[in-house]
């Protein structure tokens, strides 16, 4: 990245951080582009250079939040590889992102605003829902004989739910994040519960 591109990326991140704070404080309807420019310490001309409207800025925050979880989308099931290791790897791809304070801040803002605006909620949900990746791995693991799952979509929701029950939803109220040790415990517990629920018992005749 050249110096100009780095400056642009830094300025854009500065504006997004200010917008997250403004939307959290005032809500989307009452948020002011003037106040966002003041919070970001940029001119209104600079603000509108990057984001032409409040709507564009809000959607950019949703996209930014979605992009943070891109690593999750890249994980695929590997035939024959230990299922505990694969589920752990997938859970950590999600968990590492949930340990970032700015991700939690953006999520708090997006969720609070979508509660006020159903149209925004539907649009945001489509970009932020990563359940399909979890469900795909569980489906492939079942087809490979490592798990027994009748409804991979439901199982995917359950897996994400186990992680977020400790690593996401309670922290929306405080803005905090789990430590690495707490996340490791959350992930191991979640993986063990999935394997306990969907794992295939060894054939007694092979013992």
Half-sphere exposure in the Cβ direction for 152 (13 Å, CA): 14
Q: What domains sit in the chain, N to C, each tagged with a CATH number?
A: 1-52 (1.10.10.60), 61-206 (1.10.357.10)
The per-residue DSSP string of 53-85 comes to SHHHHHHHHHHHHHHHTHHHHT----TTS-HHH
Mean of pLDDT values over 128-153: 95
Q: For the CA atoms of the chain, what is the radius of gyration? A: 20
CA–CA separation, 61 and 109 (whole Å): 9
- CB distance 155 to 174 below 8 Å: no
**With bands split at pLDDT 50, 70 and 90, how would you rate the model's confidence at 3?**
low
- CB distance 167 to 178 below 8 Å: yes
CA–CA separation, 55 and 115 (whole Å): 16
pLDDT tens digits for 72-129?
A: 888 999 999 999 999 999 999 999 999 998 888 888 888 877 777 777 766 777 777 8
pTM of the model: 0.82
């Amino acid at each position: 990245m050249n110096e100009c591109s780095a400056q642009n990326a830094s300025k854009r991140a500065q504006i997004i951080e200010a917008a997250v704070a403004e939307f959290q404080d005032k809500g989307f309807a009452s948020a002011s582009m003037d106040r966002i420019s003041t919070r970001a310490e940029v001119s209104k001309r600079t603000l509108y250079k990057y984001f032409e409207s409040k709507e564009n800025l809000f959607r950019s925050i949703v996209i930014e939040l979605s992009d943070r979880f891109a690593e999750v989308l890249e994980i695929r099931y590997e035939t024959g590889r230990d299922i505990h290791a694969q589920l752990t790897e997938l859970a950590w791809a999600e968990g590492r992102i949930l340990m970032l304070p700015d991700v939690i801040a953006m999520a708090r803002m997006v969720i609070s605003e979508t509660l006020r605006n159903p149209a925004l909620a539907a649009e945001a949900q489509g970009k932020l829902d990563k359940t399909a990746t979890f469900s795909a791995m569980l489906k492939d693991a079942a087809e490979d004989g490592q798990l027994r799952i009748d409804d991979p979509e439901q199982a995917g929701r359950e897996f994400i739910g186990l992680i977020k029950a400790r690593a996401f939803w309670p922290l929306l109220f405080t803005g905090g994040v789990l430590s690495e040790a707490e996340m490791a415990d959350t992930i191991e517990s979640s993986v063990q519960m999935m394997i306990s629920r969907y794992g295939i018992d060894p054939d007694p005749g092979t013992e």
